[in-house]
Structure 1
Amino acid sequence: MGKVVRGVFPWKSNSSKNNESSPSSVVSWRLFGSKSSGNLAAKTLNSEAQKTLTPASSGANTPHHHKRQGSSASEKQFEDLVASSIALIQHDRPSNLPAKCTEEALRHKAEHARMVEAARRRVEREAAARHARMQESLRLEERLARHAKEWTQNILPDWNNTKNSKRTLELWWSGLPPAVRGKVWQLAIENKLKITHEMYQDYVAKAKQRLHEAQLRRKRLKVNRNDTCSCQKENKEKVTEQIEKHAKIDDILAKTDDRIKSDEDKPRLGIPRNFSEQNLKSQSTESGPKKCCSKSNPNLLDYSDECSMELIQLDIARTFPHLCIFQPGGPYFDVLHELLAAYVCYRPDIGYVQGMSFIAAVLILNMEAPQAFVCFANLLDGPVLRAAFTRDGATMQRLWKAYGKLVAHHLPWLGSRLAPELYLVEWLYTAFAKAMPLDAACRVWDVLLRDGDTFLFNTALGVLHLYQEELKDMDFISAAQFLTKLPEDLDTEALFKSISAVSLTLDGMSFEELASCCEDDTTLDDDVT
């Protein structure tokens, strides 16, 4: 049995320890107390220590005992917690501090036992949660494998006859397997605009040429950022020639597409664009030559909409930054930049609008660049997205009012507290690719491409329905920030249950019929967002 040393006086305890202690002692306790009660306390604690401290637990005080062969991560974590707790409680106090009494020592040992038990329960709960997540992941993978096989063998070979079958729609709603997602998206979007891969390559070449011309113009119009403004040193005749030259370029670009004039005459409603007419043509020839001083950006001087692809990269850097593949130097930076620049050449009347980079990036992640361009152009030609990106104010007002009526019907308490403009604009212009985790956004896109872009409003109602309890406890600013960036642990199954719980029909009218019945508000500002 281990020997217990009572150190009443420090200088005597050291000498007695050297003389009386033996290497065979299992545990050594230094008790500070009266001589009469010392023997009884020593015997009690010594016997309890022998029962409590097994060789495995006492040996756990040293780090090398934790690294046993075959021990799992959870066991190692548990042993570390036990070892650290024992080391803290069983070490004696320094000689210059009051000694522990018997009751305090027993209380500390009971507290240690409770700590060890709590640590054990916590480790068990974490292990059970990890096991449940692993099992759920395995079930999901098995389900996706079965569905992928069914899509590949039964549905895709006979797409025209099976795309509207009940089984296909059920599989579609449950989420497309990643192995077939890109193929199904291409078939679902279709190619109503009849865009070919050769057209895409031509638009890319045209975009590169326009980019080169824009770079040359920027060098000629570069601002001297020293003490004086370079635009004041230019000859008036050169300025006049430049204005006339760019006016001719704008006339040539205006003749490339007959849709430019009709779209410009429409009332516009939408988010301000980086490279829209508001930024690139805000100062017309009526105000005279542009001044490149007083905080103006030389990159925006006298550029046409078609040359806005030079500045698209400014917005690409903010596209899925956590993936680190679309940023400058990343493997998909040039691919995304070329696709967006090609679209600017294809639709110079629309140009580049903030949010396009997220939509294009999701397509690039699921298919090759030529197919992504075809899908991108056709997707943006849908009724809702076309109205948003062409800034069709009349159509967007009707959609806004129809959505407001649905929110007032399903969630009446929210309609008066949170304006849709604070969250719905970004949801629409990025098709939820920015607000949601990427997996959840792709799941939404599956049904979006099946049911049409009005499903965006159904998804918006589903998100509000899913988080209605959380939103009730938030103030105005916190709710807007929460909806702008939804939680990373968003449960897609719960989301689609909420989407199913809310309907886009009201008083027997569909969403399209409800929107058509809404009157236009001509007093609404163009830059409502």
Structure 2
Amino acid sequence: MCQKASFSITSLFLPTHGRSHPQPPRLYLHIPERSKSRVRSVGNGTPLVPAEQGSLRSPSWRSDVSSAESIKSPGICPSPLKGRAKSWNAALFELSAEARSLTEKLEEHANELDKHGINGGPASRPVPKPRVKSALAELPPLRRTNIMIDPLPISKEKEAVLSRTRPSWLPPKDPAEEKKHIREYQKMMVKSIEADKRRTAAKLEKEKNKDDMSGNTLRIWEEDVLPRWNEAIRERRTRELWWKGVAPRSRGAVWTRAIGNELGLTETSYHAALARAHEMEQRVTEGMATTEDERRISWFNQIRRDVKDNTWVDLKIFQAGGPLHDSLVDVLKAYAMYRSDIGYVSGINTIAATLLLNLPSATASFIALANLLNRPLPLSFIACDHGAKHSAYNLLLDTLSKKSPRLHEHLVSEELSLDPELYLAELFSAMFTQHLSLDDCSRLWDVYVFEGDSALVRAGVALLLENEGRLLAAKTQKEVLAVCAAGHQKTLQGRGDDWMVRVRSAGKA
């Protein structure tokens, strides 16, 4: 009982200053000071650190003496400060119910004081100044013993000759050699610091040049190309501009003009198609749906699933509750009703989402989507025109045979007997939006809206060449499809100019 009482008083009134929040108070052993002996250095230029400061010896002899004294005098209640420190949970468990409750209340109160910056809590402590890296090269630390190699503590004589450039378990280094190596180390570190400064300056300069180039590109598109559109798009320098990428702020206007509106759609067309979708959903809700309505409502269910699970998920703006969720669902419903002969096909969701990200409104996105999917290659895939699809596959493989005959022979070999539909259909049906990063896809579309379906064929060849080594190593259909699936993982981080260089070179003889 005496032990419990003494421990509860100690634990309740420990000072709150300097505690590591939120850990409970700790009990500290009292270690008597020892006389410091002086050891003379042998003179290798390394400062001496006494062994007593390294805490290499265990103070267990004090606890042994204390426990022996307590055994000899059983009537004396030993102080917990002289024994071995207990864990907070174990100590708290040994308290009585009343003392335990009081201790917990006081600890909660101390935590509240720390939170509000009272009593030396974290909120009242001054913010430490950021550490500034010295311009001078720092010396390497003393090479002390490694417990995995030499578990025995080092002697005072050994500690006096520790080196900064040689491990402690090797023979001492000559002082002259030590100074020479330290000078070489300092020169090497100075060069490293200078190289870091040059890399940082080059990176800043590159970012500045990139910003300047983006600003210049934006001005060219908005002040030169767009005002005189019909003449500008026929110029060679404008073609170089779209291969370098349209300025993101100008993409909405440039894509809209480049895609055009051959179908003659208007805002009224969009709202009329969307109204038919709402009327059909109302009939299904009221139980008055026809067989055709049941077929169309399955499109809408698939639209919601694709928008939730397969539409630029990393962006988190098209999923339920996102800012563009409702707009995307409406555009897809309107298109499904507008082209009821086709309906909804998976892959259109990411095409419409890419347009929504760059065009100013859902109406503009609907008009662009309908005209974009009316181009020959996309239409052949969403309408399942097998003849047109195989023509696209043959064109891609013929282009591949000129760039990499070996890969072409491997993919069309009788051993694999691989149907191009298995690994190329998803590329074209989604217009690469499900196989590229958002940046890479946007850069590809900067060219596609101007140059048409040939840009998609080039992109397909570029993707296959990018995975040429792994495709050649694949010996079965399953392995080839696995390589294509792994190589088509989209990310938010794009490759920028490198990707477009690959696409452009894929179409050259």
CA change 1:92–1:189 in 2 (3 A) is closer
TM-score normalised to structure 1 length: 0.61
Instruction: Classify 1:370/1:165 alpha carbon distance in 2 versus 1 (closer, same or farther; 3 Å).
Output: same
Match of 1:450 in 2: 450
Matched, 1:482 2:480: no
Q: So what's the TM-score if we normalise by structure 2?
A: 0.63
- Give the letter for the 1:336 counterpart: L
What does 1:446-525 align with in structure 2 at a 5 Å threshold? Answer: 446-468=446-468, 476=480, 478-485=482-489, 490-503=494-507
Q: 2:330, 2:270 → 1: CA distance? A: 10
* Alpha-carbon distance, 1:429 to partner: 1.8
Aligned twin of 1:190: 260
- Provide the C-alpha distance between the structure 2 equivalents of 1:352 and 1:120, rounded to a whole number of angstroms: 64
Amino acid at match of 2:405: P
- The change in CA–CA distance for 1:461 and 1:118 in structure 2 (over 3 A counts) is farther
User: In the alignment, does 2:430 pair up with 1:430?
Assistant: yes
Partner residue of 1:308?
A: 299
Q: Please tell me whether the aligned partners of residues 211 and 307 of structure 1 are also in contact (alpha carbons under 8 angstroms).
A: no
Amino acid at match of 2:373: L
Match in the other structure for 1:327: 319
Asked if the contact 2:245/2:446 (under 8 Å) is kept, the reply is yes
**In structure 1, what is the equivalent of residue 334 of structure 2?**
342
Question: Are the aligned partners of 2:396 and 2:460 in contact in 1 as well (CA < 8 Å)?
Answer: no
Gap runs ≥5 in structure 2: 1-30, 50-124, 169-181, 412-417
Q: Using the TM superposition, give the Cα deviation of residue 404 of structure 1 relative to its aligned residue in structure 2, in angstroms.
A: 1.9
TM superposition shift of 1:390:
0.3
Alpha carbons of structure 1 residues 128 and 306: separation in structure 2 relative to 1, 3 Å = farther
1:380 Cα deviation after fit: 0.2
Aligned counterparts, 1:21-32, within 5 A: none
Distance in 1 separating the partners of 2:378 and 2:320: 28
Q: Deviations over 1:360-415 (max 9, x none)?
A: 00000011111010000000000000000000111112221222222223222223
Opposite residue 446 of structure 1, the aligned amino acid is D
Any idea what SS the aligned residue of 1:49 has?
coil
Which residue of 88, 94, 97 corresponds with 2:152?
97
Equivalent of 2:240, from 146, 155, 170? 170
Match of 2:166 among 100, 110, 117: 110
- 2:282 aligns with one of 212, 237, 247: 212
CA distance in 1, matches of 2:446, 2:254: 9
Say whether 1:19 aligns with 2:54.
no
Shift of 1:128: 5.8
Evaluate the alpha carbon distance shift between residue 488 and residue 362 of structure 1 in structure 2; reply closer, same or farther with a 3 A threshold. Answer: closer
SS of alignment partner, residue 434 of structure 1: coil
Change (3 A) 1:119 1:457: farther
Task: Give, in angstroms, the shift of residue 202 of structure 1.
Answer: 1.7
- The size of the alignment, in residue pairs, is 373
* CA deviation profile, 1:78-111 (whole Å, cap 9, x unmatched): 99xx89x849848999xx9342573996466535
Match of 1:60 in 2: none
Q: Greater relative contact order (Cα 8 A, min sep 6): structure 1 or 2?
A: 1
- CA-to-partner distance for each residue in 1:248-297, whole Å, 9 max, x for gaps? xx3xx8xxxxxxxxxxxxxxxxxxxxxxxxxxxxxxxxxxxxxxxxxxxx
Offset at residue 174 of structure 1 (A): 1.1
- Over 3 Å counting, the alpha-carbon distance change for 1:124 and 1:173 in structure 2 is same
Q: What is the alpha-carbon distance in structure 2 between the residues aligned to residue 365 and residue 174 of structure 1?
A: 20
Shift of 1:488: 5.9
**Matches of 1:118 and 1:130, distance apart in 2:** 18
Residues 435, 486 of structure 1: 8 Å contact kept = yes
How far apart, CA to CA, are the structure 1 residues paired with 2:224 and 2:506? 32
Q: Which residue identity does 1:43 align to in structure 2?
A: V
C-alpha spacing 1:492/1:50, structure 2 compared with 1 (3 Å) = same
Q: 1:43 to 1:494 in 2, by over 3 A?
A: same
In the alignment, what sits opposite 1:246?
Answer: 290
**What is the CA distance between 1:161 and its match in structure 2?**
2.2
Secondary structure in 1 matching 2:314: coil
What residue in structure 1 maps to residue 108 of structure 2?
A: none
Select the structure of larger CA radius of gyration: 2
Any idea what the Cα deviations from partners look like across 1:134-154, whole Å, max 9, x if unmatched?
A: 433322221121111112112
Taking every aligned residue pair, what percent have the same amino acid on both sides? Answer: 24
Aligned to 1:49: 47
1:147 matches 2:217? yes
1:376-415 superposed matches below 5 A: 376-415=369-408
Superposed displacement of residue 178, structure 1: 0.8
Instruction: Find the partner of 1:355 among 329, 347, 366.
Output: 347
**Any idea what SS the aligned residue of 2:358 has?**
coil
For residues 117 and 205 of structure 1, what CA distance do their matches in structure 2 show? 76
Distance 2:153 2:194 in 1: 38
> Is the contact between residue 336 and residue 343 of structure 2 (CA under 8 Å) also seen in structure 1?
yes
Equivalents in 1 of 2:215, 2:147: separation in Å? Answer: 61
